[in-house]
Structures are given as structure tokens and as C-alpha cells.
Amino acid sequence: MTICKDRVVIVTGAGRGIGRGHALSLAAQGARVVVNDLGAEVDGTGGSIGPAGEVVDAIRAMGGEAIANGDDVSDFDAAGRLVQSAIDQWGRLDVVVNNAGILRDRMLTNMTEAEWDAVIKVHLKGTFGPSHHAAAYWRNRAKAGETNDARIINTSSTSGIFGNPGQTNYGAAKAGIAAFTVIAAQELIRYGVTVNAIAPGALTRMTEGLNPNRPEPKPDEFDRSAPENIAPIVTWLASPESHDVTGRVFLVAGGVLSVAESWRRGPTADKGDRWDPAELGPVVQKLLADAAPNTTMRG
């Protein structure tokens, strides 16, 4: 059974790693895929259409349909061209998977403005651009009396949800993407569009330096760190089966899948009047004593 048969899907950052896994899995399930990738280095420098073309070749070799696209998703107009490329090729667009990203890790005291700006631009603006242009397309269809069964699937991170030292730029962008997901889901449901996100854990070019002593899996052993492990939930979210799921963030790594629970109001004190700063010490201490601690990267 192919759960994404004839779905037209854009996957950004699909030339390598997790994005490549998404593109191949979606194609295996019958989707027609726009494989978008700049072919840049981990820090966002350089570029080549080669990686995207290799994924397209792999999809076509398995009998699927795909085209390569080298547009920069952090460029607003280029993101519009990316969306239009799917419509021009196959007459419509059903799914956008926002996966493109870079890393420029640095402790806050040492981080440069350029390192901050580059990461925020690729992750946050690179999610906004394709989502905006796709949402406008689906809104226009709805206003014209047509129906949509469309999806936006974003990529957040445990670094953004739970926090990780050395990644104030990356974590802030990924936390922003989680919030973007929840809000966009509320806005777009009226047009037949669901919006969800994943927070993946896998061994890729971006993460290989975080745990250099990671043991290699044995030949007959399930590789819990393989980037291809992330694709099943994205493929399912891209399918018609997920039509009633929206505004959620899924944590996925290896064979583990869970749902992130969002910020919620914890212990509360209500004076019924304006607080005097001098009286807040014991009040705050009591609230913190009653509150659950922040969740760590390990959940």
C-alpha cells in the first residue's frame, strides 16, 4: 500500500541526511517529490545541485517521479519559485516539508552577529518562506471553491524545546519553529491545511561532532542513529491518513516516537492586587518548589 500515492511534496534540504530519507520514503509511498537542496556545507557556505540531483536519480531508479530544485529557501522570492516549481511540474501542491538547516554553534559570549543571523535566517525564515507561499496557494484554492487536503511539516529540535548549551541561535530558531507550527495550525485549518512538526534525533553531518565516541552498530543490529528512522512519521503526516492531526510536535529518534507537551500554566499565586516587589521572594520560592523542573534534552 502506498499511503502518499500521487501526493505532490516539496522537501527542503533533501540532498543529504534526514531530508534525503524523507524524500526517498515519500517517493516509495507514491509521492511526487521536489527535492530541494542548495548543496551547501554544514555551516551554510558553498553550494551545488549535485546532492539534490543524486536523490532525484535514486527516486527515478525506483520508478518514482522527482525533480531537483536549488532555490535558497531563506530567500523569500526563491521560496516562492520553489513552490511554483511543484505546481508547474504536476499541476498542484499537497505537502511542504521544511527540513533545511545549518549549524554555527558557539557559546553566547563568543557568538558573532553573523553566526546568529545565518542560523536564524536559514531555519526560521527558511520555514516561513515556503510555508507562506504554499499557504497563499491553498487559501486561493479554498476561496475559489476548491478543497485542500494539504500539509506543512516543520523541523524543530530538542535543542529548541528543552535547551542545549552552545546553541542559543539554533535553539532559538527551533523553538520559534515549534511556536510557528502551533500558530500556523490555528490559522490554516480553515483552508484544509494541517501544520505539524518533528524534533528528530539522528546521526547526520550536523550532529556527528556532538558525540564522537558513539559506538558503531553491529552489522545485524538496528542502527538507532540512522537518519532514515525519522522519515516514517513525516511520510505518515504527509498522507491523507493524518487529516485530523494538527498543531503538534513529535519527538522521533531510532524507533522511539513521542508527542511533545507544550508549555502549560503551572503553580499560581493570585494576590488580587498589584504585587510589591519586596514581598515576592517567598511567593516565587513557593511557586518554584511546587513546580515541575524544566525537562532536559534527555526528556
The answer as to CATH 3.90.1150.10 being correct for domain 8-259 is: no
Burial class (CB in 10 A: 0-12, 13-18, 19+), 149: middle
What phi and psi values does residue 167 have, to the nearest 5 degrees? -135, 45
- At 108, the amino acid letter reads L
CA 51 to CA 39: how far, in whole Å?
Answer: 6
pLDDT at position 207 is 53
Give the integer Cα–Cα distance in Å for 196 and 242. 10
Specify whether the CB–CB gap between 276 and 42 falls below 8 A.
Answer: no
Instruction: Give the pLDDT confidence score for residue 218 in this predicted structure.
Output: 74
- Say which residue the cell 523542573 belongs to: 293
E strands in the chain: 8-11, 32-36, 65-69, 95-97, 150-155, 193-201, 249-253, 256-259
- Name residues whose C-beta falls within 8 Å of residue 134's C-beta, 6 or more positions apart in sequence: 10, 83, 93, 96, 150, 152
Nearest alpha-carbon partner for 227 in 35, 27, 18: 18
Do residues 155 and 177 make contact, with C-beta atoms less than 8 angstroms apart? Answer: yes
Query: Tens digit of pLDDT per residue, the chain (299 long)?
Result: 799 999 999 999 999 999 999 999 999 999 999 999 987 555 545 444 689 999 999 999 999 999 999 999 999 999 999 999 999 999 999 999 999 999 899 999 999 999 999 999 999 999 999 999 999 999 999 999 999 999 999 999 999 999 999 999 999 999 999 999 999 999 999 999 999 999 999 775 555 455 556 667 778 787 888 999 999 999 999 999 999 999 999 999 999 999 999 889 999 999 999 999 999 999 999 999 999 999 888 77
Q: Given this model, what pLDDT does residue 37 score?
A: 95
**In the prediction, which pLDDT does 47 show?**
46
- How many CB atoms sit inside 10 A of residue 151's CB? 28
Is 0.85 surpassed by the pTM of this model?
A: yes
Contacts of 131 (CB under 8 A, 6+ apart): 96, 98, 152, 154, 180, 184, 195
Cα 48 from Cα 254, distance rounded (Å): 30
Cell numbers linked to 51: 546532492
Which residue, 178, 177, 196, is CA-closest to 235?
196
Who's near 194: CB < 8 A, 6+ residues apart?
150, 151, 152, 185, 188, 237, 242, 243, 245, 246
Give the torsion through C-alpha atoms of 141, 145, 151, 152, to 10 deg: 40
pLDDT of residue 44: 47
Q: Catalytic amino acids? A: 157, 170, 174
Residues in Cβ contact with 33 at an 8 Å cutoff, skipping those fewer than 6 apart: 9, 10, 11, 14, 23, 26, 27, 59, 64, 65, 66, 67
Q: What is the pLDDT of residue 204?
A: 53
